[in-house]
Structure 1
Amino acid sequence: MTLPPDEHELHAWMDGEADEATAERVERYLKDNPQAAAQVAGWQADAQQLRQAISRHSLTLDRPHPQYLRRRVRQQRLRQLATACMLVLATSAGGFAGWQLKESQVIASPQPMEDAVQAYKIFDNQTQTPMDMVASQHAELSSWVARYFINGNPPPNLEQFGFRLVGARLMATAQGPAALIMYQDPQGTRVGWYIRPLDPVKLPHGERRADDVMAQYWSDQHYNYALVTPVNSSGVSGLRKAVALATS
C-alpha cells in the first residue's frame, strides 16, 4: 500500500524541492484527491498573500525569495517546539552560559531591550561565541532574517559607516524568535542590530546606557528593534546619529 504524502512533502513539492519520485507521487495524489488539491491551492494562495504583505514594506535589500515564505509556514511548528524546549533548558540550568538568553532575566529587568544588551555582550566575541550564520552579503542575510521575521525590516547596510557584516545568531524569547546581527569595522569594533517580537510592549523611540554599551531602540507595527554599540568608541558616533534620525 502506498501512503499519501504528508504535509512536509506537499510543501516541498510546492517549493520545487521534492525529488522526482516524491513529486510524481504528490501529483498523482492531488489528481486523485480533489479535496487535498484544494487544500494545496489554499496554501499557494496564502503564500501569495505573504508576498503581497512583504511587498508593501520599503525594504532596502533584496526581497526574500518566495520559497522562504512557504518554507517558513512548514517550519513554524518545529520552531515553536524548539523554542519551548530551549526556554525550559535556559530556566533550568542556573549556570548555563551559551547562546540561549535566560528568559527569567529578561522578564525581571525593567529596562527596555535588556535582552538586546545581553545578547550583544555575549556575542561581542570573535572566538568563543560563533555565529549561527556567517554571511558577507546583505541579500543572503536578509533572506535568512525573513525566514523567522515575516514583515520585519531587514538588517541595515552599515558599510557607509565602516561596518561590514559578521553574521547572525538566532535566539528564543517567550513571544517567539529573536535575532542578533553583528557588524565589525576594520579596528575590530563590533555593533549589533537586534530584532524581537513586540510583546510584551511596543517601544517608543529611545536610548539608554548599560555599563559600557548604548542601546538605541524603536518599534514598527510588527517588531521591536535595537542597535547596540560600545559607549567608548569614537567610530560609532556617526552611526548613532543616523539611527536616531531614521527612527525618531
Structure 2
Amino acid sequence: MSDDRSPIGEDDLTAAVDGRLSPARAALLRARLAEDPDLAARVAAEVADRQALRDRLRPIADEPIPSRLRIASLRDARRRRFVARGRAAAAALVLFVAGLGTGLVAAGGGGGIAARDVPVHAVVAEDASDAYRTFVVEVAHPVEVDAAHETHLLGWLSKRLGRRIVAPNLGGFGWKLVGGRLLPAGASAAAQLMYEDGDGKRLTLWVQAAPGEETAFRYSRKGEASTFVWIDRGWGFAVTAGLERDRLLPITEAIYRGLDG
C-alpha cells in the first residue's frame, strides 16, 4: 500500500483509473494533476477508455456466462487432469517397488519414476492446448478484452503476470489480434492472446510462469491443434492453431522475435 506522503506513482494512476485510490492519495493526485496538464490529459484519456470498455462490455456482462467458461469449471477440469496424472504416477510407483522385490527392474534400467515425470514444457503445451480448444469455438466470448482496447489489455495482463506482455504483429501472415484473457495456470495465472485470419481461423499465444531449464521449440499435436512450446528465462510460451507444423513454425518464429517488443 502506498505511503500517504510518498510521491504519486504509476500504481496510484492505475488505482485511480480503476476507482480504487484511497481518499488521501486521491487528494494528492488531484493536486498533482492541477500542476501537470499532460498527466491530467493522460489520466482523463485512460478513464474515458475504461468507461468506453465498460459500456462496450455491459451487454455481454449481463449475459449468463456458459458453465464451461466459468473459472471454477476450468479449475475443476484441470484438477481432474492432475488427479489422473497423480493416479498414474502412484500406479507406476507400486509397479516399480514391486519390481524391485521380484527382480523385474534391471539395475541401471531406464524405466524409473523420473523418466515418467511430466516435463515443464509438456505441462505448458497441455495447458495452452486445452485453453485453445475451450475458447477457439466461442462466438460471444472468444476474449475477455478485445483488440480495440489493446493498451489496456496488455497493461492489465502484464500487471497480473508480473512481466511485460506484448502482442506480436502477425499482419504479415494475415493474422490480426482479436484480444485476450487471463486464465488460471496451476497456482498462478496465464495470459492468452487470440488472433484470427481472414478465413476465421484462430491462433493463440499462451504465456505462463514456468521455472525450469530453457528449451528450444518443442512441437506437439492434439486432435486438430498444433502447438509449439518453449521455456525462456522462467516463462513458458506456447503458440497453438489448427495448422500443419510447417505453416505454424514460421509464425511461431515471428512471435518469438516479436516478444522482445
**Band the TM-score falls in, shorter-chain normalisation:** 0.5 to 0.7
**TM-score, length basis structure 2:** 0.53
Distance 1:117 1:203, change over 3 A: farther
Q: 1:98 aligns with which of 69, 78, 83?
A: 69
Larger Rg: 2
RMSD of equivalent CA atoms: 3.8
The whole-number CA distance in structure 2 between the counterparts of 1:214 and 1:119 is: 13
Counterpart contact for 1:202–1:224, Cα < 8 Å: no
Q: Is 1:158 aligned to residue 170 of structure 2?
A: yes
Question: C-alpha offsets along residues 202-237 of structure 1, whole Å, 9 cap, x if unaligned?
Answer: 452211111101110112213100000113599756
SS in 1 for 2:68: coil
Distance 1:19 1:152 in 2: 23
Structure 1 or 2: more helix by fraction: 2
Which residue identity lines up with residue 204 of structure 1 in the other structure? T
Runs (4 or more) in structure 1 with deviation over 6 Å come to 24-27, 244-247
| Structure 1 Cα separation of the partners of residues 178 and 26 of structure 2 | 42
Secondary structure of the residue aligned to 1:231 is coil
The 8 Å contact of residues 204 and 239 in structure 2, kept in 1 or not, is answered as yes
> What is the aligned partner in structure 2 of residue 179 from structure 1?
191
Deviations 1:76-99 (CA, angstroms, capped at 9, x unpaired): xxxxxxxxxxxxxxxxxxxx6215
Q: Is the 8 A contact 1:138 1:157 kept in 2?
A: no
Per-residue deviation, residues 134-163 of structure 1 (Å, max 9, x unmatched): 124654433232112223452322112111
Is 1:175–1:197's contact at 8 Å kept on the other side of the alignment? Answer: no
Amino acid of the structure 2 residue aligned with 1:103: R
State the TM-score, normalized to the length of structure 1: 0.56
Which of 195, 206, 212 is the matching residue for 1:194?
206
Q: Say if 2:238 is the partner of 1:226.
A: yes
| Secondary structure in structure 2 of the residue aligned to 1:144 | helix
Query: Contact 1:132 / 1:167 at 8 angstroms: preserved in 2?
Result: yes
Q: Which residue is equivalent to 2:215?
A: 204
Asked if the contact 2:168/2:255 (under 8 Å) is kept, the reply is: no
2:130 is aligned to 118
State the alpha-carbon separation in 1 of the partners of residues 257 and 164 from structure 2: 20
User: Which residue of 119, 137, 147 maps to 1:135?
Assistant: 147
Asked if 2 retains the 8 angstrom alpha-carbon contact of 1:171 and 1:178, the reply is yes
Contact 1:99 1:122 in 2 (8 A): no
Distance in 2 between residues matched to 1:152 and 1:202, nearest whole Å: 21
Instruction: Describe the SS at the equivalent of 2:199.
Output: coil
Amino acid at match of 2:234: H
Q: Give the percent of matched residue pairs that are identical in Structure 1 and Structure 2.
A: 20
